[in-house]
Amino acid sequence: MLTDTIACDVLIVGGGPAGLSAASHLGDEIHSIVVHQDAEIGLPVRTSGGTWQRDMRALGIPENLYQVIDQLDFFSDHAEARFAVKDDKMAVMDVTGVYQHLASLSDDKRRELMTGAKFLGCVEQEDGQFLSEIRSRERGTFSILSRMVIDASGWQSAVLESLGLGQKPERTGVGIEYEFPRGEFAQNRAVLFVGATALTGYGWIFPTANNRLRLGVGVINPDTDLTPRQVMDAFQDGGYATRYGIEIPEDYEVNAGIIPSVAYDPELVFGNVVRTGDAANFASPTVGEGIRMAIAFGRVLGQEVTAHLDGDAKALKRYETAAKREFQRDYTFGFMMNQRIAGYTPQRWDKSVRRLARLSEREMTALVRSRFGWQTILRTVWLSLKAKITG
């Protein structure tokens, strides 16, 4: 039974990068409430934190919150491709620090941040407002009445599912990551590995700015019956860590997370309910990194929600159109690649990594960032057809 009701202009479900960024770019007059299921912003860590230096700079993320990478190496079972990256450098975020920084950007707003608060469901009222049921460790069960709801709940799409506007993705990327002291592994080097050690997905080794190392693997469900833990156990038992110059200690922190791995859907606005971040499938289909997109479009959404509440009837459509322009072509093609490579054998991965080694730095970066010009798309289609014709 509901014990009390709180009213606000905008309820934001999810205190990840998308929800926090939307809150920070709402107008000063708008009262928002962010409900976040975990007890602390940025903990537990649910993502590897891979990103790009130029995006971090453009988004104003402090330099002490990410490690710049200028050596990116790819490995399959019997092939490798090594890139000294000079122009478009990768970076690895201090995920907890970045999320807490994003939260601080709305500290001077009319924003309430409720951690340890679980969204239970939502009902649209006759007057068009939304009554959401929340359960908090501190307050028990209560309700929030809001003019708008932003679904930034991640892959669960909790708001849309509650209102019958959407559902959880049937296909997901599931990852596990061990974090431990960096040791002798180079501070500026990252590794991505594929093949027998990470079928249907890939693995990564990322150094962080605080001298830690993240070793992770991800798989695509239901494309495989294997769990990430089983894949990681096989990685350890097979002694593969030695190949990459790392030593896994007995004690380590465990991070785990889930992202959507489905085709891009351009429908983001449902009246006064809007989705963003992983709930909108903004994670790139090639390597699944989505924090930079969640921040950028969370901020766009905050601005357009403000305009919408001020009476601009076209504001939310602008957000939806901007996202479609940014993502649809690249993500549609990237998802086709994602589905195809999920079925690669170790031998096929060896061939792909050898081809990758022939790419320029710019071509490699575009591939990992899921940026596909028409020339790249046509070339890939031609090579695919050629392979089928020649057997």
String of DSSP letters for 187-231: TTEEEEE-SGGGTTSEEEEEE-TTSEEEEEEEEEETT-S--HHHH
Indicate whether 267 pLDDT > 80. yes
- Please list, in sequence order, all residues whose beta carbon lies within 8 angstroms of the beta carbon of residue 191, skipping any fewer than 6 positions away: 72, 73, 74, 75, 204, 205, 244
> Which residue carries 């708001």 as its tokens?
159
pLDDT at 324: 95
Cβ proximity of 115 and 39 under 8 Å: yes
Give me the pLDDT at residue 196, please: 84
Q: For residues 211-236, b (16+ Cβ closer than 10 Å) or e, as one string?
A: ebbbbbbbbbbebbebebeebbebbe
Give the residue, 149 or 361, on which the prediction is more confident.
149
Which pLDDT tens digit goes with each residue over 337-354? 888 888 889 999 999 999
* Distance, CA of 188 to CA of 198 (rounded, Å): 23
Residue 386 has pLDDT above 60, yes or no: no
Pick the closest to residue 98 from 59, 68, 156, 54 (CA basis). Answer: 59
Measured in degrees and rounded to the nearest 5, phi and psi for residue 40 equal -140, 145
Please report, for the chain, the start and end positions of each structural domain, with discontinuous segments joined by +: 5-43+97-168+266-334
Alpha-helix runs per DSSP H in the chain: 17-24, 53-58, 95-104, 158-163, 228-237, 291-309, 315-341, 346-356, 361-368, 374-390
> Mean pLDDT throughout 137-164?
95
Give the mean pLDDT of 54-62. Answer: 97
Tokens of 334: 């990237």
Per residue in 75-133, pLDDT (tens digit) is 999 999 999 999 899 999 999 999 999 999 999 999 999 999 999 999 999 999 999 99
Residues near 171 by beta carbon (within 8 Å), at least 6 away in sequence: 220, 221, 222, 223, 260, 261, 262
Mean pLDDT of the chain: 90
**pLDDT attached to residue 208:** 94
Q: What is the pLDDT at residue 138?
A: 84
Question: Order of strands across the sheet with 90-93?
Answer: 50-52, 90-93, 66-69
Specify which of 97-101, 224-228, 340-344, 378-382 reaches the highest per-range mean pLDDT: 97-101
What's the gap between Cα 56 and its chain centre?
Answer: 15
What is the C-alpha to C-alpha distance for residues 36 and 48, in angstroms, rounded to an integer? 20
75 contacts 243 by C-beta, under 8 angstroms = yes
Question: Who wins on pLDDT, 349 or 371?
Answer: 349
Q: What is the C-alpha separation between 144 and 147, in angstroms, rounded?
A: 10
Give 257's Cβ-side CA count (13 Å radius): 24
pTM of the shown model? 0.92
Confidence of residue 330 (pLDDT cuts 50, 70, 90): confident
Average pLDDT over residues 225-242: 89
CB 96 within 8 A of CB 45: yes
Q: Does domain 5-43+97-168+266-334 have CATH number 3.40.190.290?
A: no
pLDDT recorded at residue 3: 53
